Every structure is written in C-alpha cells, then in structure tokens.
Amino acid sequence: MNLTEIQDCLHEKNFPRLKKELLQGQIADIAEFIDELDDKNTLLVFRLLPKEIAADVFSFLSLESQTKLSSLVNETELHDILNDLQFDDKIDFLEEIPANAVKRILQNSSETERALINQFLDYPTDSAGSLMTIEFVDLKKEMLVKDALEKIRKIALTRETIYTCYVTDARRRLEGIVSLRELVIASPDKQVGEIMNEKLIHVQTLDDKEYVAELIKKHDILAIPVTDNEQRLVGIITVDDIVDVIEAENTEDFYKMATIGEMDTSPLKADPLFLIKKRLPWLMVLIFVNVFSGAGIAFFEDTIQQVVSLVFFLPLLIDSAGNAGSQSATLMIRALAVGDVKIEDWFKLLKKEFAVAIPIGLVMGLGVSVVGVFRAGIDVAVVVATVMSLVVVVGSTIGMSLPFIFSKLNLDPATASGPLITSICDITGVLIYFSVATWYLGI
C-alpha cells in the first residue's frame, strides 16, 4: 500500500486503481488512511471497500470517523455495517454516538437484539461488562472432542475467538475452559469434560476493567470469561481490548500526575474549550495552596528585609524539595499501579526512603553550600546547606507518603501529582528555610 500513489489516484479520481492499491494494505492501514480524509472523500473511499472488509475497516476507524460515516451513509448501508460488526465493536460505537441516533439504529434490530444491546449499553463505562463480547464458543461437558471440533468449525467465522472455548451447564453456568490447542491434541473420542480445566479465572460484569487487565497480564491469557452474579457465562473479554485498556489507564495516570482531568481524545483533536476545562480546575486549586507559601514568607518579612540575599536561594531550595518529592511520589504511584507494592508496605518503604533521602539530602546540601559561600558568605551558606538537607528529606517523605494516603482515602494514588507535591513542599520549605535562617542568623 503506497500512500502517495493512493493520494494521486484519489486526486485523479482513478477509483479502480485506488481500490486496488488500498486493498493491498492491512485493515488497520486502510482505516488509518480513511481517518485522514475529509467528509466527501471518507464516504467515497469507504464505499469502494468490498462488503467483506467494510465492517472490519469500520471497527478500526477512529471514533470521529465512525460518527462522521454513520451520518453520511444511508440507512441500508449503516444497517449492513452494523450487522457485520463484532458485538463488542458495535457496542463501543453505539456507546459514543448520540442517543437519538442509537434509537434510530435500534429500530431496525430484532426485539431480542434490541434488549441485548440495551443491556450492554447499561453497563458502566469502566466495567468488565462494557468491554465484553458475546461471540464466544460454548461447549458442553458431555460433547466428544471430535463433535466439539466440528461445532467450532461451523461457527468459527462468527466468533471473536475460537482459541479458548467455554464449557457451560444446562443453566449456562460456567463449568470449565478448554483451549483449542487442548482440543486439537486430545483424542477425538474423549469427552470435553475430561480435558477441560476447572480452575477458572473469570470476572463479573461489574468488575472494574483495570482488574480485568491485571488478571490477563498476570496469567498471560488470551481471553477471560465474564459471568453474572449467578455464575452464568455472559461474555468474554479478549486480550486485544485489554491492550487498549492498559494504554488508557496509563494515559489517565500520566494526566492525573500532571493535574489534567480525564480525557480520551488526542490534544490535536480536542476542542480548546474542552482543554481549558480539563486544565484550569487544578491550576486554580494550586493557586489557593500556594497562597499559604506567600503567607509563610510574609510572616518572615523582617528576616528577609535584613538579609535579602536569602531570597536568592528560595527557588533553589523549594524546587529541590519538590523535585525529590516528585521522584518518591512517582516511584510509589507506579509501584502501586503495577502491583509491585501494596498499601501495607508503607512503613517498610518509609524506612527505605530515609536510607535514600538522607544521603541524597547531604550530597545536595554539600553541593549548594559551595554556591552559598560564593554568593552570600559562610553564614548564609551554612543555613542554605542545612536547609537543603532537611527539605530534601522532608520533601521525599511527603512525596512517598501522599500516594499511600490518597490510596487509603480510596482516591487514585496518582492524584499525588508533581504540582501538588511541589506546592506542599513549597510551604514546608519556606517555613523551614526562614525559621532556620532567623534562628541561626540571630535575627
């Protein structure tokens, strides 16, 4: 698939060649190409796709293009696309378009399907239910392996995965799991019940999708079954969807740690007003926090008046505390997020933090004392070096503890953002700095 050539064909309206070139690409590449087109060309190129791959390409399109396309195609076309979509992709799409558009689409569905779709649309966005698909292979314990294989053969085309099959009883309760690999290896006349694995890893519809991701990562599995609260199998979640969940969770943590609110569009596509709404709230909260640093400084106005050179070192000292604190916080937030560390480990980690922060503080104090002597004399240098060692240790302790405190309060540990820690370290830094200076310099 040669992009410039395709662009040329589009420009020259050479559609037969455009189609030929396009079909040499992978589905994801075709979708990526369509994502970049304007309205007119989106519809034009999409209509060139053979019916067998149209729905597949549609499922790889960005949400923006999906919505655009669904408003551009006619009712029959939309119906055909939706019919060919895998169930979880269909739900993903329906979740994002306006409610009246969903209604219009559902009018063309059978009553059973409409009920099913509505049930899926009701699952909370962060739940396992919202991620699962109903297109799995279910087998019965009493089936012979050869019959199971024959069944799989027949329905393979319409299933999201055939590589893990699920064994259910008459009331649809999950009894076991058997992989296609095990079925292929087993002797054809064995019963499925003899080879299935009864040690089940499964989740429930309302479990958080982060928990689902954790299980799939931990056990290195390709799919996980989802059951309702009566242990009935209602769907499965496959690893490709989990990869997206992992990326989204990481993005959320990155944003939280930089005081940006939840958003799932790229900054390139996001509306400025939307970005302002995501960025402004925490910035305003932090102004409020920072006012206390100002109050601290005001309290020491006399000291500053007498030794103005103390102000030179203010940004240096409070920044260093904030930097050390951000390091500790990030180490803890990440370790909590990937499960390397649990909330009970706090005290053990606190002891280690001292073993790390004290030497770091001393080295930094030593480093800054050189600058201090050179700029403001021995006395100020002693104050600055002492304060540096102190604030680095205090900052590190604050930084490493905050994620645990947030976690304990059932908040996301990532709320302990760099900016928040910087602001808190500022206040403590100001107080420590000017107290030590006032005392040591005898002001």
- Site for a copy of itself contains 330 (CB under 8 A): yes
Q: Which of residues 295-314 bind a copy of itself (CB under 8 A)?
A: 295, 297-298, 301, 304-305, 308-309, 311-314
**Which among 9-17, 66-74, 102-110, 338-346 is the span making contact with a copy of itself, rule CB under 8 A?**
338-346
Pairing type for strands 223-227 and 203-204 reads: parallel
- Least Å from the CB of residue 330 to a copy of itself: 4
State the number of CA atoms in the 13 A half-sphere of 158 facing the CB.
7
Largest Cα–Cα distance in the chain?
95
**Which among 27-35, 46-54, 124-132, 227-235 is the span making contact with a copy of itself, rule CB under 8 A?**
27-35
Question: Nearest Cα to 242, choosing from 132, 339, 89?
Answer: 132
Geometric angle at alpha carbon 252, from 246 and 255, rounded to 5°: 140
Of 73 and 330, which has the nearer Cβ to a copy of itself? Answer: 330
Site string for a copy of itself, 189-228 (x = CB under 8 A): ----------x-x--------------xxxxxxx------
8 Å CB contact between 322 and 417: no
Binder to a copy of itself among 36, 71, 75, 153 (CB under 8 A)?
A: 153
Task: Report DSSP state, residue 341.
Answer: S
Binder to a copy of itself among 3, 115, 185, 343 (CB under 8 A)?
A: 185
Q: How many angstroms separate the CA atoms of 244 and 228, rounded?
A: 24
138, containing H or E segment: strand 137-139
Q: Which of residues 369-428 bind a copy of itself (CB under 8 A)?
A: 371, 375, 392, 418-419, 422-423, 426
Geometric angle at alpha carbon 403, from 399 and 409, rounded to 5°: 135
8 Å CB contact between 285 and 419: no
Site size with a copy of itself, rule: CB under 8 A: 113
8 Å CB contact between 412 and 383: no
- Least Å from the CB of residue 271 to a copy of itself: 9
- Site for a copy of itself contains 142 (CB under 8 A): no
- Site for a copy of itself contains 367 (CB under 8 A): yes
**Which among 100-108, 112-120, 344-352, 404-412 is the span making contact with a copy of itself, rule CB under 8 A?**
344-352
Of 46 and 433, which has the nearer Cβ to a copy of itself? Answer: 433
Q: 339-369: string of b/e by CB count within 10 Å (b at 16+)?
A: eebeeeebeebeeebeebbeebbeebbeebb
Q: How many angstroms separate the CA atoms of 361 and 355, rounded?
A: 11
Q: How many angstroms separate the CA atoms of 350 and 353, rounded?
A: 5
- Least Å from the CB of residue 253 to a copy of itself: 8
How many CB atoms are located within 10 Å of the residue 213 CB? 22
Of 13 and 219, which has the nearer Cβ to a copy of itself? Answer: 219
Q: Which of residues 236-255 bind a copy of itself (CB under 8 A)?
A: 239-240, 242-244, 246-247, 250-251, 253-255
- Least Å from the CB of residue 332 to a copy of itself: 7
Site string for a copy of itself, 59-98 (x = CB under 8 A): -x--------------------------------------
- Site for a copy of itself contains 40 (CB under 8 A): no
Task: Report DSSP state, residue 260.
Answer: -
**Which among 40-48, 169-177, 257-265, 402-410 is the span making contact with a copy of itself, rule CB under 8 A?**
257-265
Residue 43 tokens, joined: 């519809």
- Site for a copy of itself contains 341 (CB under 8 A): yes
Question: Nearest Cα to 257, choosing from 109, 403, 414?
Answer: 414
178, containing H or E segment: strand 174-179
Of 276 and 378, which has the nearer Cβ to a copy of itself? Answer: 276
- Site for a copy of itself contains 30 (CB under 8 A): no
